[in-house]
A = this chain, B = another copy of it.
Amino acid sequence: MKENEKLPDVQSSQPPAHFKLTRVGVTKVKKLVHVKRPDAESVITLPTTLDIFVDLPASQKGSHMSRNLELTTEIVETSKTKPVPDLETFCAEIAGSLLDKHDYATFAEVKAKADYFLGRKTPSGREEIEPYKLIAEARAERDGKIRKLIGVEAVGMTTCPCAMEVIRALTGNKKSVAVPTHNQRNISTLMIEVPGDSTVVEANDLIDIVEHAFSSPTYGMLKRRDEGELVLKAHENPKFVEDVVRDILASVLKRYGNLPDDTIVIARSESEESIHKHNAFAERVTTLGELKK
């Protein structure tokens, strides 16, 4: 008896309640994806967590979720010998295949998140490998159109401009004197839509953009002098979460302003406030066209 032959296909039967569903699929799928950037010497492996969805018409009881896994496994398997160029292309490939395998679906959506490490230089020039997150998304529609986004999540430091000015007022210190303020761990995200088969957007560049928007990047390892200089520098560059998001947007516009006006841009910044038990948050969800206005 052949695989699945004569076995009941419950998913394809009529559902008792006739409603279409917006998203049906699998979440928290873990795969090891092999990636090689066009200009990189070696392959890196990304332990990636995936969410994989299609929509479902009212006439069908269930989505064949095992197909989502089957095609993902195949694409991952292929990446071992022929690495994918980037995580967003990997997502786009899955999204495209989903529409082939689920002929009842009108769109497919794939989201990926992976640990990522990148070489950085501390203020004193010491080499460090710092941890980040890569985020990718792809959305395929029945007309063949696939939109894909690449993004990064980075951790840095923000020093509060408001408390700094208040303390300057309270202490009577001049602008030339560094005064204290509260500062905290900040987690910021930048996602940008990537056109067709272009390599114009590099995740490493997005990390640069985000880290430049902090009061200061942070590092795994800082000797005493490094630490003192980093803190002083961060105090010369105080930032609200609002400033972090806007400075990210300004860099995006400068660097990627030539991309199409409908290019999606998402920037988000959250500070784990040291003077509060809650967080401060800012975000902008927009397009390049809107940013140019």
Q: Find A17's partner among B171, B222, B247 (CB 8 Å cutoff).
A: B247
B-binding segment of A24-32, A93-101, A190-198: A24-32
Interface of A, secondary structure class, is: mixed
A145 within 8 Å of B (CB atoms)? no
Chain B, residue nearest A279 (CB): B27
**Chain B contacts of A10 at CB under 8 A?**
161-162, 165
Which A1-20 residues have a C-beta within 8 angstroms of B?
A: 3-4, 6-11, 15-20
Residues in B whose Cβ lies below 8 Å from that of A219: 275-276
User: Which of A83-91, A135-143, A200-208, A282-290 is the interface stretch?
Assistant: A282-290
Q: CB within 8 Å of B: which of A197-221?
A: 216, 218-221
Q: How far is the CB of A53 from chain B (nearest CB, A)?
A: 7
Contact indicator B182/A183 (Cβ below 8 Å): yes
The residue of chain B having its C-beta at the shortest distance from the C-beta of A291 within the complex is B19
Residue of B nearest to A277 (CB): B155
A253 (CB) vs chain B CBs: closest residue: B19
Question: Cβ of B223 and Cβ of A66 under 8 Å apart?
Answer: yes
Residues of B within 8 A of A11 (CB): 162, 240
Binary contact readout A242-273 vs B (1 if CB under 8 angstroms, 0 otherwise):
11011101100000000000000000001011
- CA gap between A10 and B56 in the complex, in Å: 43
Q: How far is the CA of A6 from the CA of B169 in the complex (A)?
A: 9
What separation, in Å, do the CA atoms of A42 and B17 have in the docked complex? Answer: 38
- Confirm or deny: A146 has a beta carbon within 8 angstroms of a beta carbon on chain B: no
Q: Closest residue of chain B to A23, judged by CB?
A: B283
Do the beta carbons of A17 and B246 come within 8 Å of each other?
yes
Decide: B184 and A242 in contact? CB cutoff 8 A.
Answer: no
Q: Is the CB of B276 within 8 A of A222?
A: yes
Which residues of the partner chain B approach A159 to less than 8 Å between Cβ atoms? 180
The distance from the CB of A271 to the nearest CB of chain B, in whole angstroms, is 9
Question: For the complex, what is the distance from the CA of A3 to the CA of B126, rounded to whole Å?
Answer: 12
Chain B residues contacting A182 (CB-CB under 8 Å) are 157, 183, 227, 231, 234
Return 12 A-B CB contacts under 8 Å, by A number. A8-B162, A19-B284, A27-B281, A47-B47, A47-B117, A69-B278, A166-B225, A166-B227, A167-B231, A171-B232, A180-B180, A183-B184
On A, residues with C-beta under 8 Å from B are 3-4, 6-11, 15-32, 44-45, 47, 51, 53, 56, 61-63, 65-66, 69-70, 73, 76-77, 115, 117, 124, 127-131, 155, 157, 159, 161-163, 165-171, 173, 177-185, 216, 218-225, 227-232, 234-235, 240-243, 245-247, 249-250, 270, 272-286, 291
Contacts A16-B247, A22-B284, A31-B129 known; 5 new A-B pairs at CB < 8 A = A23-B281, A24-B241, A73-B221, A167-B232, A220-B277
